[in-house]
A and B are shown apart, each in its own frame.
Chain A
Amino acid sequence: MTAPMPVIIGVTLAILLGLATFLTWFERRLLGLWQDRYGPNRVGPGGILQAVADGIKILFKQDWIPPFADRGVFVLAPAIGMMTVLLSFGVVPVTAFWSIAGTLNVGLLFVLAMMGMGVYGVVLAGWASNSKYALLGSMRAAAQMISYEVFMGLSVLGVVMQAGSFTMRDIVLAQSGLWFVVPQALGCAVFTLAGIAETHRLPFDLPEGENELGAGFHTEYSGMKFGMFFLAEYAGVVLVSALLVTLYLGGWEGPLLPPALWFALKTSALVCLFVLLRAALPRPRYDQLMALGWKILLPLSLLNIAATGAILLLHAPG
């Protein structure tokens, strides 16, 4: 039943990169739909080739490195950003039989570690750019992503307690009776917020904050290196959606349809939710963002852990 590993890796990578590219178009169309306009609808049927056109354009742009930048780190940063997101996908189980390392016994920890590494991509980008806007953006990114990582890690602990495992596949299997979104509603909400902050998407895109910081941490980037950040962001959206599905929404499980389709359906619905957030919400002030994190989300996730632990202990056999 299980396909050979190189096939799985190749197909996953191709689908993921294709999806991230396609999402750049899809998001703009969806934003247009929700804002009573069209979005890109000229190139190809429904404008779907816009993503290709953008790709061609960005590939042929001059690959420029500012003379004041730290060359090595400047080139490395987008690669780190992209790599951590792609590696995280390794442990996401698409179905029971289709995943690269869904049975890794520290799967969830691996994802958290990769997200922690992802901060480096952003911070090093800002640092190596040697420009004030980029540095301010990456400082914000560092503070925001590191603090939200804390709640992200704490919020999934409830899931781990209930499933009794860090393995992604076992977590999904443990949800065959009841999806964790019901008993872990609080954790799910915190994880969603932290996930948005982690991918620094609107409304938590303060590291980019184009109205005050130019383009934030990638101000100095152009051409395909900027494209890498861009694709990494969209791949990150897919990743957080896929993680939400795996951890809280029962992964591939569902009636009638084949498991892979269920996984895709749930993930795309969440991606649409991400776009809806972007369409509807303004960006909070920076201190509001941090206050929300430390004053509300941290106590909530601690409460969630304590409550889950207490209930599990009460129901423990013996």
Chain B
Amino acid sequence: MFGILRTLWLTFLHMAHRRVTVGYPEHKPPLPPRYRGRIILSRDPDGMERCVACNLCAVACPVDCISLQKAEQDGRWYPDYFRINFSRCIFCGMCEESCPTYAIQLTPDFEMSEYLRPNLVYEKDDLLISGTGKYPDYSFYHVAGVKIPGKDKGEAERESPPIDLHTLLP
């Protein structure tokens, strides 16, 4: 009995408390930088596409909403097309975790409603940004042992030159 009256009184006192609701369209809630929202494809510091079309993100995606095709130019791999169907994406971030080159990243933007479902299919043009996203200094080709124009084998960071097999001969 007393407990019930106390509950009533405490609830009544809540009249003077601040409301916790954030009135969304007028007040945007502050989103942390690692919020999982709209997906982008980033570029490395040299302005080249980071994605090497390894397909790991497409494999990791639990709802199979990424589709891409590899193309090659001067030893660099890049996606010919890269398509994310956002009407299926569940914003789990698995693609970002699986990406070996930090190319695919989720951003704190969730306002992507559309009236037509096909408009939610984003092509590479829509996904690719001109910046580096969350990792300003990382460049995959500078640390990987792949040969590209202007960087031969063995010239990457913390990579020793390839061993001349002839010196190993007895």
Contact = CB atoms under 8 A, between A and B. Distances in A.
Interface of A: 32-38, 276-277, 279-281
Contacts of B10: 280
B74 to A, nearest CB: 56
A279 B8 CA distance: 8
Contacts of B166: none
B19 A36 contact: yes
Interface in B1-51: 4, 7-8, 10-12, 14-15, 17-21, 23
Interface residues of A, dominant DSSP: helix
Interface in B95-129: none
Contacts, number: 34
Contacts of B23: 38
B21 A280 contact: no
Contacts of B19: 32, 36-38
The 7 A-B pairs of least Cβ separation, nearest first, read A280-B11, A37-B21, A280-B7, A280-B8, A38-B21, A34-B14, A36-B20
B11 A36 contact: no
A276 B14 contact: no
A193 to B, nearest CB: 11
28 contacts: A32-B19, A33-B15, A34-B11, A34-B12, A34-B14, A34-B15, A35-B11, A35-B14, A36-B17, A36-B18, A36-B19, A36-B21, A37-B19, A37-B20, A38-B19, A38-B21, A38-B23, A276-B8, A276-B12, A277-B8, A279-B11, A280-B8, A280-B10, A280-B11, A280-B12, A281-B4, A281-B7, A281-B8
A34 B4 CA distance: 16
Interface residues of B, number: 14
Contacts of A33: 14-15
A36 B7 CA distance: 15
B14 A36 contact: yes
Contacts of B15: 33-34
Contacts of B4: 281
A38 B14 CA distance: 13
Centre residue among A35, A38, A280 by max chain B CB count within 10 A: A280
Nearest to A278: B11
Interface in B76-109: none
A32 B21 CA distance: 10
A279 B14 CA distance: 11
A77 B7 CA distance: 36
A15 to B, nearest CB: 27
Nearest to B10: A280
Contacts of A32: 19
B124 to A, nearest CB: 39
Given A34-B12, A280-B10, 11 more contacts: A32-B19, A33-B15, A35-B11, A35-B14, A36-B14, A36-B21, A37-B21, A38-B21, A276-B8, A279-B11, A280-B8
